[in-house]
Amino acid sequence: MDKATSGWLNGFMGVVIFSGSLPATRVAVAELPPVFLTSARACIAAILGLLLLALFRQPRPRVPDLPALAITALGVVVGFPLLTALALQHVTSAHAMVFLGLLPLCTALFAVLRGGESPRPAFWLFSVLGGVFVAGYAARQGLSASLHGDLLMLAAILVCGLGYAEGANLSRRLGGWQVISWALALSLPIMLPIALLTVPADLAHVSTPAWTGLAYVSLFSMLLGFVFWYRGLAQGGIAAVGQLQLLQPFMGLGLAAALLHEEVSWVMLVVTLGAVSCVAGARRYAR
C-alpha cells in the first residue's frame, strides 16, 4: 500500500472515531460540569499515553519540539474539548455537528501557515464555499437564539484546526501516537489539579450513560482517534486528508438521531451534503 492511500485510510479511521465525540460529550455534560469533563478526559488519556510511551520506550521530545507540543495540547487537549462541552450546554450535538463543516477549511489554513503546504487556488474556492453553507445554516437558525453556543463552537473549530495542523506537522518527526501522548503528558500537571478541584459533590449519582460518555471521549476521542488521525495527516498531507472531516457531520448526525433521539432536520442534511460536495471538489486541488 502506498503512503498516500495509507494516509487516507488512517484519516478515515480517525474521522469514524471522532464522529462519536459530540454525542458522547452531550451525554456526559448533562451530568458532569464541562471543566471537570475536559480535565478528567485529558487526565485519563494522559495516563494511558504515558503507559504507552513507557511500554515502547519512546525517547523524550527535543526542546525545540516543546512549543509545538504545547500548541497541540492547547488546541486538541484543552481548547476543543472545553469549548465544545460549554457549547453543548446551549445547543444540541446535531446543531453543533454542522459547525464541523468549517473544520477542513480551518485545518487547511493552518496547514499553510504552520505546515508549509500550498494548495492550488481552486482548493480555496471550494473550501470557502463549503464554509458558506455552514454560515448560512447558522444564520437561518437565528444566531440570537443560540449565539453563545454558536460562538463557542466557532472558537472550538479555530483552536482545533490549529491543533490538528501543528500536531500533524510534528508527527512527521515523532510519529502520530507519540505526538498526542506527549501532548497529553505535557498537559497533565495542569489538568490533574483542575480535575481534582472540580469533582462534583454528587459524583456517586452520575448515571451509567454519563460515565460511558466520559469513557468514550477519554479513550477514543482523546487518544485512539489521534493515533490514526495524525498518522493520516502526516502521510497524506494536512490540507488533503483534512477534507475527510466533512464526513464527520454525517456520521455524527446519525449517532445523535440514533442514540440521543435528537431531531435531524432536512435543512441540516442539505447543508451538510452541500458542504461535503464542496470539499470533495476542493480535495482535487489540495496539492
Reported as a single tens digit per residue, the pLDDT across 77-104 is: 999 999 999 998 888 776 777 777 788 8
Burial tier of 141 (Cβ tally within 10 Å: 0-12, 13-18, 19+): middle
**What was the pLDDT predicted at 133?**
77
Reported as a single tens digit per residue, the pLDDT across 36-57 is: 999 999 999 999 999 999 999 9
CA angle 227, 160, 12 (to 5 degrees): 40
Rounded to two decimals, the pTM is 0.88
Q: Mean pLDDT across the stretch 252-269?
A: 73
Q: What is the mean pLDDT of the chain?
A: 88
- Measured CA to CA, the distance from residue 134 to residue 19 in angstroms comes to 17
Single-letter amino acid, residue 218: S
- Whether 209 shows a pLDDT value over 80: the answer reads yes
Kind and range of the H or E run holding 251: helix 248-259
CA angle 181, 182, 186 (to 5 degrees): 120
- Measured CA to CA, the distance from residue 281 to residue 125 in angstroms comes to 9
The rounded percent of the chain whose pLDDT value lies above 70 is 95
**What was the pLDDT predicted at 43?**
97
